[in-house]
Chains A and B, each alone.
Chain A
Amino acid sequence: MKFFALIRANLFRKKVRLLLTLGSFAVALFLFAFLAVVRDAFNRGGSVASANRLVTINRVSIIQPIPLSYRDKILRIPGVRHVTFDNWFGGVYQEEKNFFPQFVIDPENQPQVFPELVVPEDQWNAFLKDRQGAIAGAATAKRFGWKIGDRIPIKTTIYGDANTAWEFIIDGIYHGQRQEDDETQFWFQWDYFEERVPEALKGQVGWYTVQLDSPDDAVRVSKAIDAEFANSPNETKTATESAFAASWVKQFGNIEFLILVIGSVVFFTLLLVTGNTMAISVRERTGELAILKAIGFQDGSILLLVLAEALAIALLGGVLGLALAEVAIPALSNALNGMLPNLILSKSMLASGLGFALLVGAMSGLLPGIGAMRLRVVDALRRI
């Protein structure tokens, strides 16, 4: 603590350089936080997935439908507790930029299979009685200012006449039980959908979600479902919900690798910038460091002084960058309008970010610090 004044004085010696270095750290940490939340958003499918849920899709592709008649056959397979089905609607609310995911749901089984997405009982009962009823996620309802009873027109882009809007009535709002649960979805009745789609698409669903008695049955039941429909016109592919989420992410490319590459570039660039700054800063002070050694500062103390300075810069810059991220990421998440799951900057990400900043700070101060530590007083004084 008694060295605080010395460290602080050295820190603020060149204010412009300090600001630029803090800026480098802040930008890098902001980017770190952004990459971390994007990675988390892409991987969240796996982490929020229930261990006892399977997803069954058409073996050809998820955009190929599968018959509704499969439901009863799946339900008969031992180990299956509930089956529900969904269809992707892909409609446009007012303008295309107002994107949010819309699903045709099976009201009978939805609450049993997805218990983490909760609708108040009275609202759910109203929904069940309302053919045009819809349930909106809390985030989407908030985004558009929807209330119970509002009429929501959505134009279809896949099913039927694109100029005709389908009208829905908001009967309820669902909330996720966990922070990472997606609250942007919009659900509506299967019967309403079925009555309005072209004849050729009737009786077809997008995918089934199967709830198991036990996660231990996942492999056996998956195989049994796919075997049941083998050699049929609509063969199926069944996987655990987390595997399904992972394969969904893979469609976007190797996000993990991309983030790793960008992160590495940021890390090494920051290391070079701050390492160079610290080296220059220490070289400028060769004479002063020599004096400190002359009057009795040990080599280790000199190293610690340089490291403390580097760590202080890293900490300040890191906190600044993460604070910016804390403000900007929720705004960014809103601006993405459900294109990605919620961008959540968690405490563990903030802690990792600070750890990352301190690691770069320590590494950038280490070499100049060792140089200062090894400085020969006589040589340094001769140069003054």
Chain B
Amino acid sequence: MVSVNNNGNSSALIQVRGLNKTYRRGSEQIQVLQGLNLDVDQGDFVAFMGPSGSGKTTLLNLLGGLDVPTSGTVSVARDEITHMSSGKLTEWRARHVGFVFQMYNLVPVLTAYQNVELPLLLTRLSRSARRQHVEAALAIVALPDRADHFPRQLSGGQEQRVAIARAIVSDPTFLLCDEPTGDLDRKSADEIMALIEELVSKHNKTVLMVTHDPLVAARAHMVLHLEKGVLVEASKSRPNITAGGAA
């Protein structure tokens, strides 16, 4: 269950406590996130909404260990990541986080297969084991027949599917999706959202997603609104999920 009010201990998969992020621009200090608390359980699907500059992407970067907070903590499966060294954090990301970006960010000179295989190159898996994982991931995103295609030979929706396959191939603890449908037409966006929903419902994946699109956000279990760095509202988008309160 998703909670934004808890500032004590919990057994949630992801625990954020008193998270602050401040950027310095010249002599000016810009506080992007202000004392955020958040609990997300295994299998939750959370959407973050808010106007530009509200801190959505910053929050996602902090949850994914791509950035470090000014203060506060982020713990995932009881590992506190905020004090990890850069090398440890990179290692942690490889094991626990799958990233999906708005612009897909596939390597254009690699085939779909090779793009999906990238995270597995960091593991000790054999070539045949890697092949099994990649083929399974491409099957989940319904693109097994496009394995040898380069990104330029795929549609936007297909590219995003490959990016999702890359995100899930190493079976990470949770997925971070930054505007995953932001560059897609409605039909492709629906397909991508259906795929993400399937990952949550069928494969019990935990997904945290940033979006500007209310229709896309509505497909999450919970929509959290960020305004000026504060989680000001938590709305339930599904009848069986309740917002707020300690887990």
Which A residues contact B (CB, under 8 angstroms)? 2-3, 5-6, 9-10, 12-13, 287-288, 291-299, 301, 377-378, 381, 384
Contact A378 B105 (CB under 8 A): no
B110 beta carbon closer than 8 Å to chain A: yes
User: Which stretch, B60-68, B69-77, B194-202, B229-237, touches the partner chain A?
Assistant: B60-68
B215 beta carbon closer than 8 Å to chain A: no
Contact A297 B122 (CB under 8 A): yes
Query: Which residues of chain B are near A294, meaning CB under 8 Å?
Result: 64, 66, 93, 99
Interface centre among B64, B67, B119, B121 (most CB of A within 10 A): B121
With beta carbons under 8 angstroms apart, the residue of A10, A287, A301, A378 that contacts B66 is A378
A296–B122 Cα distance when bound, in Å, is 7
The contact sample of 30 A-B pairs, CB cut-off 8 A, is A3-B121, A5-B114, A6-B107, A6-B110, A6-B114, A6-B118, A9-B110, A12-B109, A287-B105, A288-B105, A288-B108, A291-B105, A292-B118, A294-B64, A295-B94, A295-B118, A295-B122, A296-B94, A296-B95, A296-B122, A297-B90, A298-B87, A298-B91, A299-B86, A299-B90, A301-B122, A378-B61, A381-B66, A381-B101, A384-B105
A270–B114 Cα distance when bound, in Å, is 33
A12–B109 Cα distance when bound, in Å, is 8
Within B96-132, the residues touching A (CB, 8 Å) are: 99, 101, 103, 105, 107-110, 114, 118-119, 121-122, 127
CB of A21, distance to nearest CB on chain B (Å): 17
C-beta contact mask, B203-216 vs A, less than 8 Å → 1, else 0? Answer: 00000000000000
Query: Which residues of chain A are near B87, meaning CB under 8 Å?
Result: 298-299
With beta carbons under 8 angstroms apart, the residue of B67, B93, B118 that contacts A378 is B67
CB of A305, distance to nearest CB on chain B (Å): 11
A294–B90 Cα distance when bound, in Å, is 7
Contact B93 A295 (CB under 8 A): yes
Known contacts A2-B121, A13-B109, A384-B105; A296/B114 CB under 8 A: no
A65–B134 Cα distance when bound, in Å, is 85
CB of B112, distance to nearest CB on chain A (Å): 13
With beta carbons under 8 angstroms apart, the residue of A295, A299, A381 that contacts B119 is A295
B221 beta carbon closer than 8 Å to chain A: no
A129–B7 Cα distance when bound, in Å, is 114
CB of B173, distance to nearest CB on chain A (Å): 13
CB of A6, distance to nearest CB on chain B (Å): 7
Main secondary structure of the interface of A (DSSP, over half): helix
CB of B138, distance to nearest CB on chain A (Å): 17
Query: Which residues of chain A are near B64, meaning CB under 8 Å?
Result: 294
Interface residue total, chain B, C-beta cutoff 8 A: 26
Query: Which residues of chain B are near A6, meaning CB under 8 Å?
Result: 107, 110, 114, 118, 121
Known contacts A2-B127, A9-B114; A295/B166 CB under 8 A: yes
Query: Which residues of chain B are near A292, meaning CB under 8 Å?
Result: 118
CB of A303, distance to nearest CB on chain B (Å): 13
In the complex, residue of chain A having the shortest beta-carbon distance to the beta carbon of B167: A295
A287–B104 Cα distance when bound, in Å, is 11
A208–B158 Cα distance when bound, in Å, is 86
In the complex, residue of chain A having the shortest beta-carbon distance to the beta carbon of B62: A378
A288–B114 Cα distance when bound, in Å, is 14
In the complex, residue of chain B having the shortest beta-carbon distance to the beta carbon of A302: B90
A378–B58 Cα distance when bound, in Å, is 9
Q: Which 8 A-B pairs have the closest CB atoms?
A: A296-B94, A9-B109, A291-B105, A377-B66, A378-B67, A295-B119, A296-B122, A13-B109
Query: Which residues of chain B are near A2, meaning CB under 8 Å?
Result: 121, 127
Query: Which residues of chain A are near B93, meaning CB under 8 Å?
Result: 294-296
Query: Which residues of chain A are near B127, meaning CB under 8 Å?
Result: 2
In the complex, residue of chain A having the shortest beta-carbon distance to the beta carbon of B99: A294
A339–B166 Cα distance when bound, in Å, is 65
With A291-B107, A381-B105 already in contact, 14 other A-B pairs whose C-beta atoms are closer than 8 Å:
A3-B121, A5-B110, A6-B118, A9-B107, A291-B99, A295-B166, A296-B91, A296-B95, A297-B90, A377-B66, A378-B61, A381-B101, A384-B101, A384-B103
Contact A293 B90 (CB under 8 A): yes
Query: Which residues of chain B are near A377, meaning CB under 8 Å?
Result: 66
Interface centre among A3, A9, A10, A384 (most CB of B within 10 A): A9
A6–B118 Cα distance when bound, in Å, is 9
A296–B119 Cα distance when bound, in Å, is 7
A295–B91 Cα distance when bound, in Å, is 9
Query: Which residues of chain A are near B105, meaning CB under 8 Å?
Result: 287-288, 291, 381, 384
In the complex, residue of chain B having the shortest beta-carbon distance to the beta carbon of A301: B122
A299–B86 Cα distance when bound, in Å, is 9
CB of B75, distance to nearest CB on chain A (Å): 19
A13–B152 Cα distance when bound, in Å, is 13
Interface centre among B95, B99, B108, B122 (most CB of A within 10 A): B122
Query: Which residues of chain A are near B108, meaning CB under 8 Å?
Result: 288
C-beta contact mask, B1-32 vs A, less than 8 Å → 1, else 0? Answer: 00000000000000000000000000000000
With beta carbons under 8 angstroms apart, the residue of B61, B86, B90, B103 that contacts A296 is B90
Query: Which residues of chain B are near A296, meaning CB under 8 Å?
Result: 90-91, 93-95, 119, 122
Interface centre among A9, A288, A294, A381 (most CB of B within 10 A): A294
In the complex, residue of chain A having the shortest beta-carbon distance to the beta carbon of B92: A296
Contact A10 B119 (CB under 8 A): no
A13–B109 Cα distance when bound, in Å, is 6
A10–B93 Cα distance when bound, in Å, is 24
In the complex, residue of chain B having the shortest beta-carbon distance to the beta carbon of A290: B105
A238–B166 Cα distance when bound, in Å, is 79
CB of A152, distance to nearest CB on chain B (Å): 64
Query: Which residues of chain B are near A291, meaning CB under 8 Å?
Result: 99, 101, 105, 107
CB of A313, distance to nearest CB on chain B (Å): 15
A25–B95 Cα distance when bound, in Å, is 41
